[in-house]
Structure 1
């Protein structure tokens, strides 16, 4: 997908999960002295839920005053009264683990986004071993909304880490936290999750050779495509028993490479990759897009508080390209440690621009 097409597609994508509330507006005017009638109002107490992690408490019904005393002083209906039975949502289950922070999409049983932080120090510490980690359901998500291990069984898709286990070797607890299914999405295995996507994850780790702090936000997208009749439609597979775990059409990464200074510059990069087999010789920059395109497509905001004066374009600061390792070799080595300060650059095509 070209950058121009992605921008159009992202613009056509509707933001999902937006909660709406209705408010009643009334008007009143001062009573003229000759008016002698009295308007009596009554108050109604309605039990409403408190603020949630994703919404403010609903407003109380507004009293509407009318000139005609025969018109009730309060509206004849109370739509917000449904809150006494529960707040419909949407709800994004926030998860704060030692290696990641995430928000979960209950409707699609996938994360909305997962954020991580990697540094040269975090990648040098090797206290975690993935052989001791196991895929597990996230018990903090209500059972009827969570993804289950059986959903992936014989589905033909990998349980694709959004924050990779290789980024959390600094403790066993950190590594274990990446194996919750709330950190997973169904991904094409051979040719993507085990290949190009893994090379892309390695690219993110190697950024710590040039930046002391790298933050990455990763997540799924469900993008429309033009069909034979010329119309754009969103279509994606659903797996599970019953089928309710969505298979994303694409995945994004938004990268914040920080220079480590207070109020310093941030090299910003955004990439969107299809959930499909990608040839290893495909240039990574072919998947670079404006961060605004990812925001429009996902309904999320990533850099609204980052002033333009502090922004740098990542792929103008460094050479955005991946290096290819065979899957078996990568499973043995996972990654090479970043070089020590003052040492030679790593043997990779990720080199700093002059």
Structure 2
């Protein structure tokens, strides 16, 4: 009897131990894995992702604010000035490649029928450069991308020193930022009438068909590569706003012409960055950038 009781007790203890071991296996902690992070891949995103500054539409009746949409950039065109009011484009390393500069300046035949088309020769002898809004060097991913930047609807009469030095320096800096893993939303425009080129002061060229702007501006929103860009713009996002005179004697340092987005809006009547939340806009649009310039 005692031997049977001893066997039963031993079996019970062994069962308990087996059950305990089984429970420990079920709840044993799993090995933890370390999260892997990598820089977001650069992409080509919408050129109007942060808003349509003037509410431009593709309606010939609205000749002073006609929307032209290209794969490479989007713009508002003014028929009677013969220039864009503004041009908006996205820049990231996805747009950059090895395509050569095409230099194929030409009229934009996508303008409405009956509108005067500014020609490649329309600026000849004026003392003003055919100044790109969306730069040739921002669109080197393919020959067609680069060629699109030479349409005359992407040009303004720009003082040579402004175009070749001050503005070129700012454009180079934007591409440097893109090469550092950022994507940029850029809007360039002009306002006023009358500028000073290498041949002096003029209000119009091309027999009055092309207006020479008085001021040339640019707004640049800098974000790390990612998605959902308008929603990612925050009060700490870097926004660079520049407003320069269209004058051949201006400084070569673009940083000295920094201003606020609010000031450009007041001068132009546009609503810039309208796709960004109004709370964020109130902060970033009132601030003047003080970051590096090269």
Change (3 A) 1:134 1:261: closer
Q: Does residue 114 in structure 1 map to residue 87 in structure 2?
A: yes
Are 2:265 and 1:300 aligned? Answer: no
Q: Distance in 2 between matches of 1:140 and 1:309?
A: 37
For residues 78-123 of structure 1, the C-alpha deviation after alignment (integer angstroms, 9 at most, x for no partner) is: xxxxxxxxx8544533222221111111121110111111112323
1:268 aligns with 2:239: yes
Query: Whose radius of gyration is greater, 1 or 2?
Result: 2
Compared CA separation, residues 286 and 252, structure 1 to 2 (3 A) = same
Shift of 1:195: 1.4
How do 1:1-354 and structure 2 match up within 5 A?
Answer: 53=57, 89-123=62-96, 125-126=97-98, 128-130=99-101, 132-141=102-111, 142-189=113-160, 191-210=161-180, 212-222=182-192, 237-240=203-206, 242-259=207-224, 260=226, 262=228, 263-264=231-232, 265=234, 266-277=237-248, 278-280=250-252, 282=253, 284-307=254-277, 308-309=279-280, 312=284, 315-316=289-290, 318-319=291-292, 321=293, 350=294
1:90–1:97 CA distance, 2 compared to 1 (3 A): closer
Q: What CA distance in whole angstroms lies between the structure 2 residues aligned with 1:288 and 1:236?
A: 25
**Tell me, which stretches of 5 or more residues in structure 2 are unaligned?**
1-53, 196-200
Does the 8 A contact of 1:162 with 1:219 survive in 2?
Answer: yes
Q: Structure 1's 178 and 293: CA in aligned 2 closer, same or farther, altered over 3 A?
A: same
Structure with greater helix share of residues: 2
Q: Distance in 1 between matches of 2:121 and 2:259?
A: 35
Deviation at 1:206, TM superposition (A): 1.6
Shift of 1:147: 1.8
Q: Which runs of 5+ in 1 are unaligned?
A: 1-17, 20-51, 56-86, 226-234, 322-349
C-alpha offsets along residues 325-353 of structure 1, whole Å, 9 cap, x if unaligned? xxxxxxxxxxxxxxxxxxxxxxxxx3xxx
Change (3 A) 1:224 1:164: closer
Change (3 A) 1:204 1:314: farther
Alpha-carbon shift at residue 175 of structure 1 (Å): 0.4
Work out whether residues 241 and 289 of structure 2, in 8 Å CA contact, stay in contact via their aligned partners in 1: no
Task: Quote the offset at 1:236 in angstroms.
Answer: 5.7
Mapped to 1, the partners of 2:203 and 2:170 lie a distance apart of 24
Counterparts of 2:190 and 2:114, CA distance in 1: 21
Q: TM-score, normalised by structure 2?
A: 0.68
Question: 1:216, 1:256 within 8 Å by CA — same for their partners in 2?
Answer: yes
- Does the 8 Å CA contact 2:221/2:238 hold for their aligned counterparts? yes
Normalising by structure 1, report the TM-score. 0.57
The Cα RMSD (Å) is 2.9
